[in-house]
Amino acid sequence: MSNRRTFLQRAIALGGGLLAAPRLFAQHQHHDVPATPRPQRGTRAPAAASAPLVQTPDVPNLPYRLDNGVKEFHLTAEVVERELIPGRKMKVWGYNGSCPGPTIQVNQGDRVRVILDNHLPEPTTMHWHGFEIPLAMDGMPYISQKPIPPGGRFVYEFTLRQEGTYFYHAHGAMQEMMGMIGMFIMHPAKPYAPRVDHDFGITLQGWALLPNSDVPNTAGMEFNWLTLNGKAGPATTPLLVRHGSRVRIRLVNLGMDHHPIHLHGHTFSVTGTEAGRQPQALWGTGNTVLVGVAQARDVEFVADNPGDWMLHCHLPHHMMNSMMDLMGERMITTSALTPTQAGEQMQLMTATGIPMSHGAHAQTAADPNRVPGFPQDAYMEMPMDEGVDKPENYGLAKNWSAGMMGMMTLVRVLPPDKYDHIMHLVAERDAKKGGRA
Ligand SMILES: [Cu+2]
């Protein structure tokens, strides 16, 4: 664990140099990727050939070692603790201390080696979803390879001729539901046109967490926690973009549900699928893209509308955090509450252990419990601005977090000075993190 942290710190320390490099995937002998990659500051127009690194908020990039022209990555399958929102932790399975696993980024045409160590108490394998590679590398237990036993290792190696948004995952239904997935970006040999200024990646996942349990119930059919990059709103980290810039958001889905992902304030084009970049004639426009299970979708738009815009799954149950989970059996369905029960239910919200304040509740009527159906959203709209304070949230409206639950994040289209200021705060925070033992 401490070895990995030291390595990560080194990666962060090297990050400054990397950001200044004219081409992000140049052939260095040692190439470390910063934990929180950022686009270059101060300029929006680096050389056309240097596409920005994909940022996957709340998920680190995986550094690699160059070995005789082969990009060598190292993944360890292991138990990972993930905090969905402040106060609600779960123990899931992931890679290298992260769930979803760290993001792998390579170039089209690269020879890639991934060393997979199994630190789980049962066998696993890795499937490279959609990769056109030899069967022996496909990660099918018993079919293309022997399962990797606990404590075992398997080395995957292949040449990648594709480009686009891909992902890797363990090939067992229950291990998938335990979180064993990560993004795999193949940057194109010939840069996409038009060039984007910001490139983001988000993994969509669902979890079945029973009250008083911190391990997902992978046999359960009730998925009550929905996450973007392993975080539920308001703990998701906003996507920060400069006003006027062109933005790509890559979405991948590995869960039990399909997710209609909706962006406010902008119209996007769907420029890519799990099969890579689509011909421009096929780019449909919209503001909602359905990302089905096992699919990837890339959307692009010009961020010409300043403000803090929602990006979220539009399934109503995916716009909630699980009150049933947080309140346990004390939670009563909202359909038929007596005035007394309604009052009690609201009181119970204060006892969940989640650091929420009740400031947002000033707006309920004088005696709301007499109104049939109360409470509905008043159940959940409780702000925790301080609990999720971080530079990326700087300057958001007071009680903003009361409106963020489940698969929700923000695309913050910021004027240049505010963008630069927040990126400065982010860099300061990351430097501090890197310097801590
Ligand atoms: Cu959804």
User: Per-residue pLDDT averaged across 47-57, rounded?
Assistant: 76
- Distance from residue 226's CA to the centre of ligand 1 (Å): 7
SS3 category, 135: helix
Place of tokens 């490139």: 199
Residue 353 lies in a domain: no
Is residue 138, in this structure, part of any structural domain at all?
Answer: yes
Q: Report yes or no on 256 lying in a domain.
A: no
Please compute the mean of the pLDDT values over residues 103-130 and round it to a whole number: 98
What tens digit of pLDDT does each residue of 60-79 get?
999 999 999 999 999 999 99
User: What distance in angstroms lies between residue 315's CA and the mean position of ligand 1's atoms?
Assistant: 5
The single-letter code of the amino acid at 355 is P
Here the tokens at position 34 are 């910063």
d(CA 6, CA 277): 37
Q: How many domains would you assign to the chain?
A: 1
Tell me the CA–centroid distance for residue 420 and ligand 1, in Å.
32
Query: What CATH code is carried by the domain that includes residue 20?
Result: 2.60.40.420
Give the pLDDT mean for 416-432: 96
Q: Ligand 1 centroid to 139 CA: how many Å?
A: 28
Structural domain span for residue 75: 2-192
Give residue-wise pLDDT tens across range 185-236: 999 999 999 999 999 999 999 999 887 889 999 888 788 899 999 999 999 9
Q: What is the pLDDT of residue 415?
A: 98
Q: Dihedral (C-alpha) 224, 228, 231, 236: value to the nearest 10 degrees?
A: -130
**13: which 2 tokens?**
């320390």
pLDDT of res. 167: 98
Residue 242 CA to ligand 1 center (angstroms) comes to: 27
Share of the chain above pLDDT 90, in %: 66
Residue 417 is predicted with a pLDDT of 97
What mean pLDDT do residues 132-152 have? Answer: 97
C-alpha 287 – ligand 1 centre gap (Å) = 15
Measure 235 CA to ligand 1 centroid, in angstroms. Answer: 17
Report yes or no: 61 and 87 within 8 Å, Cβ to Cβ.
no
pLDDT per position as a tens digit, 358-387: 544 556 777 777 887 777 777 667 788 999
Single-letter residue type at 56:
T
DSSP 336-389: G--HHHHHHHHHHGGGSSS----GGGGGS-SSGGGSTT--SGGGT----TGGG-
Between the CA of 285 and the centroid of ligand 1 the distance, in Å, is 20
Provide the residues around ligand 1 (an ion) whose CB is within 5 A: 259, 313, 315, 318
In this predicted structure, the answer to whether residue 347 has a pLDDT above a threshold of 80 is: no
Q: How far, in Å, is the centroid of ligand 1 from the Cα of 124?
A: 28
Q: Where is pLDDT greater, at 328 or 103?
A: 103
- Ligand 1 centroid–CA 227 distance in Å is 9
Q: For residue 318, how far is its CA from the centre of ligand 1 (angstroms)? A: 5
Q: Residue 63 C-alpha to ligand 1 middle, in angstroms?
A: 31
Q: Please give the pLDDT value at position 33.
A: 42
* In contact, 65 and 72? CB cutoff 8 Å: yes
User: Are 240 and 412 a contacting pair, CB within 8 Å?
Assistant: yes
Q: Cα(67) to centroid of ligand 1, in Å?
A: 41
- The residue with greater pLDDT, 339 or 408, is 408
Write the pLDDT tens digit of every residue in 306-342: 999 999 999 998 998 876 676 665 566 555 667 777 6
Residue 39: its pLDDT value, please? 38
Q: Is residue 412 part of a domain?
A: no
Looking at per-residue confidence, does 165 or 347 come out higher?
165
Mean pLDDT of the residues in the chain = 85
Q: Give the helix/strand (H/E) hosting 153.
A: strand 153-159
* 337 within some domain: no
Pairing between strand 259-263 and 288-291?
A: antiparallel
Does 114 score more than 50 pLDDT? Answer: yes
Query: How much distance in Å is there from the Cα of 314 to the middle of ligand 1?
Result: 6
Q: How many angstroms does the Cα of residue 261 sit away from the middle of ligand 1? A: 7
Could you report the per-residue pLDDT of 290-304, keeping only the tens digit for each? 999 999 999 999 999
8 Å CB contact between 101 and 169: no
Give the model confidence (pLDDT) of 25-48 as tens digits.
Answer: 333 333 444 444 443 333 233 333
103 within some domain: yes
- Ligand 1 center–CA 297 separation, angstroms: 14
What is the CA(100)–ligand 1 centre distance, in A?
17
Ligand 1 centre from 258 Cα, in Å? Answer: 6
Percent of the chain with pLDDT over 70: 79
> What confidence tier does 2 reach under pLDDT thresholds 50, 70, 90?
very low
Name the CA dihedral angle for 59, 40, 242, 435, rounded to a multiple of 10 degrees. Answer: 50
Distance 254 CA to ligand 1 centre (A): 11
Q: What is the pLDDT of residue 293?
A: 96
Strand, helix or coil for residue 87: coil
Residue-wise pLDDT tens digits, 261-292: 999 999 999 999 999 999 999 999 999 999 99
How high is the pLDDT of residue 168?
A: 98
Whether residue 379 is contained in a domain is answered as no
The count of other CB atoms within 10 Å of the CB of residue 205 is: 28
Residue 104's pLDDT is what?
98
The residues, ordered by sequence, that sit 6+ positions from 291 with a Cβ below 8 Å of its Cβ are 204, 251, 252, 253, 258, 259, 260, 261, 297
Q: Is 101 inside any structural domain?
A: yes
Q: Contact, 295 vs 252, CB < 8 A?
A: yes
* Per-residue pLDDT at 22 exceeds 50: no
Does the structure show a pLDDT above 90 at 355?
Answer: no
